[in-house]
Amino acid sequence: MTAIHAPRGTRDLYGDEMARFALIETEARSLLARYGYSEIRTPIFEARNLFERSVGDATDIVAKELYNFKDRKDREMALRPEGTAGVVRAYIQNNLGAAGLAKYFYLGPMFRYERPQGGRYRQFYQLGCELFGADSVAADLEIIGIAERFLANLSVDAKLKINFIGCAECKKAYAAAIAAFFLPHADSLCGDCQKRITKNPLRLLDCKVPACGTIAETVPDQSLCEKCSTRFISIERGLKELEVSFVIDRRMVRGLDYYTGIVFEMTSQNLDAQDAILGGGRYDELVGELGGPKTPAIGFAIGLDRLARLVVPPSENPAHGASRTPFVYVIGFPDDPTHAAMRFSEKLRDVFPEKRIEQGLVARSLKAHLREADKLGASYVVIIGEDEIGKGSVTIKKMQDGSQSTAPMSSDETILRESFK
């Protein structure tokens, strides 16, 4: 029979890569709690029109990459391609803004039908952060600051790029300017971009087809209304005051329609072609557009698959290395009808809650058990054979120098701590 493989663009996470994910998630939970953000989990699938109305039906994410399906009652559904739309839906549905400011983070899989390549998957993982109810520059700076600190805490070097897309009027005016600029070049554009000229001109700036990209590079910069340009300057000043380094990229529009105001991305030089690790921005219209009360909001999403490639693996990070190798490997030998080895292992787990205690679970010779313990890098081996059971004791072997000692099987915590120093 042929073996079944995971679908293209998906993969199993285990071993070292899984450990890196876990490290990132632990850091995220601890850091975000310190900023007052709490976790939210929304469904992995939602009504398809949620994404059409938020991310935008003319974006690549929705038009080309959505995993959509009909459920058994013929309702149009889609696997979520990003996290913000679902969180905004939840915010409205559960009236999460009732208490004023609302700060949430989420972690989980996202789905996009993209062409898989290094660092790009069809199921990938994001950590996102959303702040509702604050339209201040301080809120913008807090969100960017969290992203910066998070990466710094993980010792990941990244470059911050910012842009200001502007209010609904500024966006509309820029869309018209872009359409007018591209129109004479229509024949040189890809089929999608020809449609974008009338349907969604801003998206002309992030087409991945090289011929379209070349034209996009010569598009004039967006001009902003006075309110928007004052805001942009205040954010720039704020970042300088906070000593956050950044570059301005006036052509960065990001691949989602809902942004207004500040947008930003972070990239790493230590990744190959897919170098974007994080993207975010302000979306002050989205809550209102999805039927909620008009609410200012800002957030970002980090791609964990790419971030995981950049973090120092837990085994090289002393703070997270404790459980990588067993502290004690317990052998019940040759067979252990009263489960003395298991009872002793459990006792060790009580006394050393932070250590890894491994029990030999496969029936094999004492020699083979010792070889296995050595291979795993155990600091101690405990042997509980017929002799030991007869005497009510255990043999403790220190792997570093091979020295052996014995201890009563019923040892209390003090004796155990003394025996495994």
Using CB under 6 A as the criterion, which residues of the chain lie in contact with ligand AMP when the complex forms?
A: 82, 112, 114, 120-121, 124, 126, 255, 276-279, 301, 303, 305-306
CB of 119 to ligand AMP, least distance (A): 6
Closer to ligand AMP by CB, 130 or 336: give it. Answer: 130
Q: Which is nearer to ligand AMP, 274 or 393 (CB)?
A: 274
C-beta neighbour count of 287 within 10 angstroms: 23
Nearer to ligand AMP among residue 121 and residue 232 (C-beta):
121
Burial of 173 (0-12, 13-18, 19+ CB in 10 A): middle
Cβ proximity to ligand AMP, 262 vs 278, nearer residue: 278
Query: Would you say the C-alpha torsion 259, 262, 265, 266 has a positive or negative sign?
Result: negative
Radius of gyration for the alpha carbons in the chain, expressed in angstroms and rounded: 28
Minimum Å gap between C-beta 189 and ligand AMP is: 22
- Least distance to ligand AMP from the beta carbon of 7, Å? 14
Smallest separation (angstroms) from ligand AMP to the CB of 8: 12
Helix (H, G, I), strand (E, B) or coil at 132: strand
Identify which of residues 90 and 266 has a Cβ nearer to ligand AMP in the complex: 266
Cα-Cα-Cα-Cα dihedral sign, residues 363, 367, 372, 374 = positive
Residues linked to residue 103 through DSSP beta bridges, in sequence order: 131
Nearer to ligand AMP by Cβ, of 29 and 120: the residue is 120
User: E strands within 262-379?
Assistant: 262-267, 276-282, 297-303, 328-332, 357-359
Task: Assess whether the previous peptide bond of 334 is cis (omega < 30° from 0).
Answer: yes
Distance CA 254, CA 268 (A): 17
Q: How far is the CB of 270 from ligand AMP (least distance, A)?
A: 13
The residue number with the shortest CB distance to ligand AMP is: 303
How far lies 360's CA from each of 198, 333, 400, in Å?
Answer: 68, 9, 19
The residue assigned the tokens 């017929």 is 386
CB of 254 to ligand AMP, least distance (A): 6
Least spacing, CB of residue 126 vs ligand AMP, in Å: 5
Residue 285 or residue 358: which is nearer to ligand AMP going by CB?
A: 285
